[in-house]
Amino acid sequence: MIQAKEALVLLLAGGVGSRLNILVQNRAKPAVPFGGIYRIIDFSMSNVVNSGLKKVGVLTQYKPLSLMSHLSSGEAWDLTGRSRGVKILPPRTGSKESDWYKGTADAIRRNIDFIESNPTDEVLILSGDHIYHMDFDAMIEYHRSKKADVTVAMMVVPKSQMHQFGSGITDEHNRIIDWEEKPKNPRTNLASMGIYVFDRQYLLNALTRDKNEVDFGMHILPHAITHDNTFAYPFYGYWRDVGTIQAYWEANMDIIRKDSGISPEKWHIRTNVEAEERLADRPPVRFGNKPQIQCSLISSGCNIQGTVVNSVLSPGVVVEKGAVVRNSILFSDCVVQRGAVVDLAIFDKRVQIGEGALVGTGSNHDIPNRQHPKHLYTGITLLGKAVEVPAGMKVGRNCIINSYCRQDAFPVGEIGDGDSLFPDGEIS
């Protein structure tokens, strides 16, 4: 009998993730930095290798270069060798958006030759943009014990959030007997995690049955539930979809909260230390004479002379004397100069905050961003890659400072709550 570790993994990593706004201007959502030293995709990749699985196909599409550079040969996850490996499956599409994958099932269908060239009993399909810890080997064994055609990993979520997920109605044996995709009035609180185990031949048949069936949640699963053996695999651990700015911020904060359930070190999450950030070459953290640090994650190569509270700092961040960083997430090589204050903000790489500047100032969190009111509405301010905030500048709540805004793009004095600034100096 083929063991679970020989199942084939297909990892969907081509999503745009547009609700993450400027964090995905230059990278795919799974490549967004997370938790100081990681990328979002590290969690799925590490779950794969920690479950004993050996062959992975990664389906890319939207701005894949950063992701492909990070995955490299797969060596960081011990996925190199004769019997193991990571295969990057680039989009087989034209230049028009209409040529892109039309859905999750369509993406798998266009790479059906990869499945056919790697014969196994099961195919495990994952998303590369979730934060979680899961034993896929146990799920595959459960799938076999049920003699299932399809098994869907599912977990309980508040009914108020069910409109974001596919939901399954199950019987007393965990067989899924009905399905609702992103229901407005849910009949259950059991949500799909976007993790599927398919019998390989069943998947091939389903993908060739009707090419208009482009999505697993909308098409493949409802058909399977009606005609075949489809089961729910109950999951009770930590799992977060970090597809919004608020969810992304909260999941990062979970790392520094006690008893939140997330622990990348205990989960043995791996990352590519030889990638762009060059983690392996970073020196130890440096602290000044009287730094004040509370409930924060400080990565290697940081230089902390000021105050850091309830924040997550990636490698190479500098907080100068008299500067304060609170409730924030700073990507690699950001600099907060003397006397500046950063509160409730997310910075992309190489942001520089001038002396005495205030980012995330004021107590009014209720004015959403005017350009993207559904992205920023809780007070978080976003600064894109390589932004340079002038000395003494004030930036309000729910603001977006787009990538590569230099000092001469800023107005005199202040960026108001909910405003967005562009490199040409336009404010909207």
Q: What is the pLDDT of residue 351?
A: 98
- Picking from 111, 154, 85, 83, the residue whose alpha carbon sits closest to that of residue 13 is 111
∠ Cα 96 97 102 (to 5°): 130
CATH homologous superfamily for 4-255? Spore Coat Polysaccharide Biosynthesis Protein SpsA; Chain A (3.90.550.10)
Report the SS3 class of residue 358: strand
Average pLDDT in the 58-73 region?
A: 88
| Residue range 160-177, pLDDT digits in tens | 888 888 898 999 999 999
| Residue range 75-88, pLDDT digits in tens | 999 998 877 889 98
Please state the pTM of the whole predicted model: 0.93
- Picking from 143, 87, 81, the residue whose alpha carbon sits closest to that of residue 117 is 87
Residue 99, pLDDT above cutoff 70: no
Residue 49, pLDDT above cutoff 60: yes
Q: What is the pLDDT of residue 346?
A: 98
| Residue range 268-299, pLDDT digits in tens | 999 998 876 677 789 999 999 888 999 999 99
Instruction: Flag the least confident range among 10-24, 83-97, 321-335.
Output: 83-97
Q: In the structure encoding, which two tokens stand for residue 47, read together?
A: 């779950």
- With cut-offs at 50, 70 and 90, classify the pLDDT of residue 4: very low
Nearby residues of 362 by Cβ (< 8 Å), 6 or more positions away: 396, 397, 417
- Picking from 327, 410, 414, 420, the residue whose alpha carbon sits closest to that of residue 370 is 420
Domain with CATH 3.90.550.10 in the chain: 4-255
Domain with CATH 2.160.10.10 in the chain: 282-421
Please check whether residue 60 is in contact with residue 89, taking contact to mean a CB–CB distance below 8 angstroms. yes
Dist. CA 321–CA 302, nearest whole Å: 13
| Residue range 234-261, pLDDT digits in tens | 999 999 989 899 999 999 999 999 889 9
| Residue range 293-342, pLDDT digits in tens | 999 999 999 999 999 999 999 999 999 999 999 999 999 999 999 999 99
DSSP per residue, 142-181:
HHHHTT-SEEEEEEE--GGGGGGSEEEEE-TTSBEEEEEE
Q: What is the pLDDT of residue 423?
A: 97
Q: What is the pLDDT of residue 95?
A: 47
Query: Among residues of the chain, what percentage have pLDDT more than 90?
Result: 71
CATH of domain 282-421: 2.160.10.10
Dist. CA 277–CA 300, nearest whole Å: 11
Nearby residues of 269 by Cβ (< 8 Å), 6 or more positions away: 38, 42, 43, 46
Mean model confidence pLDDT for the chain: 92
Q: What is the pLDDT of residue 15?
A: 72
Higher pLDDT, 96 or 356: 356
Name the CA radius of gyration of the chain, rounded.
23
| Residue range 358-368, pLDDT digits in tens | 999 988 889 99
Residue 93, pLDDT above cutoff 80: no
Q: In the structure encoding, which two tokens stand for residue 115, read together?
A: 């499945």
Q: What is the pLDDT of residue 2?
A: 43
| Residue range 115-168, pLDDT digits in tens | 999 889 999 999 988 999 999 999 999 999 999 999 999 999 988 888 888 898
First to last CA, the chain: 62
